[in-house]
Structure 1
Amino acid sequence: MNILAVDDEAVTLSRVKHYLKKWGYNILTAGNGVEALEKFLSEDIDIILTDWIMPEMDGPELIREIHNNSKRYVYIILLTSKRETDDLVSALSEAGADDYIVKPFNPEELQARVRVGERTVLLERKLREYNNDLENTVRMQTRIIRQTQEETIFRLLSALEARDKETGGHVRRIGLYSARLAKAAGWTQDKIDDILIAASMHDIGKIGVSDSILCKKGRLTEAEFEIIKSHTIIGGRILGNSKLPMLQIAHDIALYHHEKWDGSGYPCGLIGEQIPEAVCIVALVDVYDALGQGRIYRKALSEEAVLAKMYEERESHFNPDLFNIFTELIPEFRDIAKNNP
């Protein structure tokens, strides 16, 4: 147990050092608060005994600096000649000391209070170690749950892939593109993790569209196109009324991912900021990926042609601010597409 004793009175400091060494503690000393703070920051200190009134930096100020600069728990005992109740309350509550000893001190009292400090330090550190282990366990379990959710969702989406051969790779890429764009837009990691999965469910409503329309090679009739458009409503119904944040995001994406910034989209004709940011993210990457991939009813466009077409619609179809961020990420999107065919 390492103890730092701080006092500008040489006699008091010598007595403290004598007794603590006698009781088997490792002792460091300092003659003022500034020197003590330097030693504290360079050594592993467990307990501090500090005088109240000292030049350059007094005891309470030293205690505050220690609390501000240490992540480890340190037990602090304030040595003081002040005996008034208000002073002692101030030492414990305002300065942040754990205990105090009135000078001149009795060796037996000093030993008893230091031993209390030693037990407290050991218990506190065991508690912190337990909490760290618990946090690590929770994080690990959270990762397992997240991985289970992701795998389950992708396996369920394979039902779409069996009907619509383009869907499988597309849904994986949309999730990865969306997560990267969300990160660049400043989202928190929790929300990024959510959109990674939620974006992949953007077309889940297609499960309610008949094969004859979904897989039609020719141009759709106006009536057939209206049926295709209904996949947004179907997806919203499938994912609606959930209390899980990830599924709430997925609901918005499934329902609104064909909305346009100027209000000309479907199914609700939302305009501008009415469209949730998650939806705006998916709208961008969905168009980017869909136009760059061949479909049964059309050939794939080159990336140059895709970006040119999207640029023409940057203010009518897309959130302009997100569009600017999106264009900076194109090299990364190419790598994602290459690794997720």
Structure 2
Amino acid sequence: MIDTKGSKILIVDDEKRNRVLLRKLMEEEGYQVEEASSGSLALAQTSMFSPDLVLLDAMMPEMDGFEVATQLKSNDKTEGIPVIMVTALDDQASREKGLSRGIEEFITKPIKANEIQIRVRNLLRLKIANDILKNHNHLLDEKVKARTQRLKASFEESIFLLMRASEYRDDETGAHVKRISHYCRRLAEMLGMNKIFCDTLFLASSMHDIGKIGIPDSVLLKPGGFEPGEWEIMKSHTTIGAEILKTSEHSSSYIKMGKKVALCHHEKWDGSGYPNGLKGKEIPLSARIMGLCDVYDALRSERPYKKAFDHKKAVGIIEHGDEKIKSGHFDPAVKEKFVANHEVFNEIFETYKS
């Protein structure tokens, strides 16, 4: 549940006793409170105080609450601040007038303490959620920006912990997940992809082997080669992963890209990969980047069926191929950037070795 404590409330009313009552109710909820005794003062206070919500009286001399709301909602800097009109007016025409000015809620006097506290809390939660969703499109104040960063950091940490759990049986340090994320982001940057793509791939790539959760230990940890039936089971981690990350139109961009990466990171440029034998640009770019990075890390790492190779040998295999890995497995443009900047990948491997 979103915590609203510490949010800033501006109370606007020409009657002091009303302001005193509303201040008491808001401070009981842990909010910071400022007051304004007129419409003009309310607009000035909004500029200085940057409230998260305004409690606004309708009937005031000089500038009434409807005019205050009109000016707040017509200003780009204040249009997102929710307004609750506290009024003795209860006729339909007044409500329609208020709604047309952008007012979110109405509370009729005399005030019921529990009702106004609940409505304020719910509107604040909605504002905080909307601010987070719009953080890529709007310049946020420092408080909201800090809250967004904490949420993003928490989301990233959760993803990495879950992926580390999925890798734990065959990579007890979880270092593979960290390296893959850094490889993929750097390679995407080298290919000229924008920051949103690169940052999304940083998280999405960590989900590439989530489908291993569904592979029995007898297959996953088997030293040496697989029998044909075992190999089919092992290959199914791609489709299992895509099923786990099944998306909807409301899914995050990280999960949507994660599904593509999980399903397609073993597809090959020449069409010899699995599970669907995709070829060339039929393979999503995120998966083409991930596929090369996964091969590099696998070559550098010890596995039940192989010893670790040094950086030079791993790069040579990716560039020229060997008895198992063919040069044609990789998108030529992706491979070219990797080879030209190969030392970057060695640095990442050494940095996140364990």
Specify if TM > 0.5: yes
- Asked if residue 289 in structure 1 is aligned to residue 277 in structure 2, the reply is no
1:163-202 matches, within 5 Å, as 163-165=169-171, 168-202=174-208
- Aligned residues of 2:185 and 2:198 also touching (Cα < 8 A): yes
Q: Could you tell me whether the CA contact under 8 Å between 2:311 and 2:346 is conserved in 1?
A: no
Deviation at 1:219, TM superposition (A): 2.0
1:255 partner amino acid: L
Opposite residue 197 of structure 1, the aligned amino acid is: L
Shift of residue 166, structure 1, vs aligned partner: 5.5
Alignment of 1:230-245 (within 5 A): 230-242=236-248, 243-245=251-253
- C-alpha spacing 1:239/1:186, structure 2 compared with 1 (3 Å): same
TM-score when scaled to structure 1?
Answer: 0.59
Question: What residue in structure 2 maps to residue 40 of structure 1?
Answer: none
Aligned equivalents of 2:181, 2:76: Cα separation in 1: 42
Residue-pair matches, total: 219
Q: Relative to 1, partners in 2 of residues 1:193 and 1:222: Cα closer, same or farther, differing over 3 Å?
A: same
- CA-CA distance at 1:223 after TM superposition: 0.9
| Equivalent residue number for residue 329 of structure 1 | 341
Distance 1:302 1:265 in 2: 25
The residue type equivalent to 1:310 in the other structure is I
Mapped partners of 1:226, 1:305: distance in 2: 29
Structure 1: 5+ residue stretches without partners: 1-123
1:156 aligns with 2:162: yes
Task: Give the Cα separation in 1 of the matches to 2:314 and 2:307.
Answer: 12
Aligned residue in 2 for 1:146:
152
The 5 Å alignment of 1:10-21 reads none
Q: Using the alignment, how far apart are the partners of 2:76 and 2:295 within structure 1? A: 54
Q: Secondary structure at the match of 1:134?
A: coil
- 1:312 is displaced (CA, Å) by 2.3
Asked if the contact 2:288–2:330 (Cα under 8 Å) also holds between the matched residues in 1, the reply is yes
Unaligned segments of structure 2, at least 5 residues: 1-74, 82-130, 132-137
User: How far apart are the structure 2 equivalents of 1:126 and 1:237?
Assistant: 43
Q: What residue in structure 1 maps to residue 115 of structure 2? A: none
SS in 1 for 2:274: coil
Deviations 1:56-105 (A, max 9, x none): xxxxxxxxxxxxxxxxxxxxxxxxxxxxxxxxxxxxxxxxxxxxxxxxxx
Alpha-carbon shift at residue 140 of structure 1 (Å): 2.8
Q: Which amino acid aligns with 2:285?
A: E
CA distance 1:133–1:164, shift in 2 (3 Å): same
Give the match for residue 134 of structure 1: 140
Counterpart residue type for residue 186 of structure 1? G
The letter of the residue matching 2:350 is K
Q: Structure 2 CA distance, aligned partners of 1:125 and 1:326?
A: 45
Deviation at 1:143, TM superposition (A): 2.2
Q: In the alignment, what sits opposite 2:281?
A: 273
SS at match of 1:163: coil
Task: Report the alpha carbon displacement of residue 260 of structure 1 after superposing the two structures with TM.
Answer: 0.2
Give the counterpart letter for 2:339 in structure 1: T
Distance 2:234 2:306 in 1: 17
Q: Which residue of 2 aligns with 1:204?
A: 210
Please list, as runs of the form range in 1=range in 2, the aligned pairs for 1:207-218 lying within 5 A after superposition.
Answer: 207-218=213-224
Residue 256 in 1 paired to residue 256 in 2?
no
RMSD over aligned Cα atoms:
2.6
- 1:244 is displaced (CA, Å) by 1.3
Which one-letter code corresponds to 1:307 in the other structure? V
- Report if aligned partners of 1:256, 1:266 keep a CA contact under 8 Å in 2: yes
Matched letter for residue 310 of structure 2 = S
Instruction: Tell me how far 1:145 sits from its aligned partner.
Output: 2.2
Identity percentage of aligned residues? 41
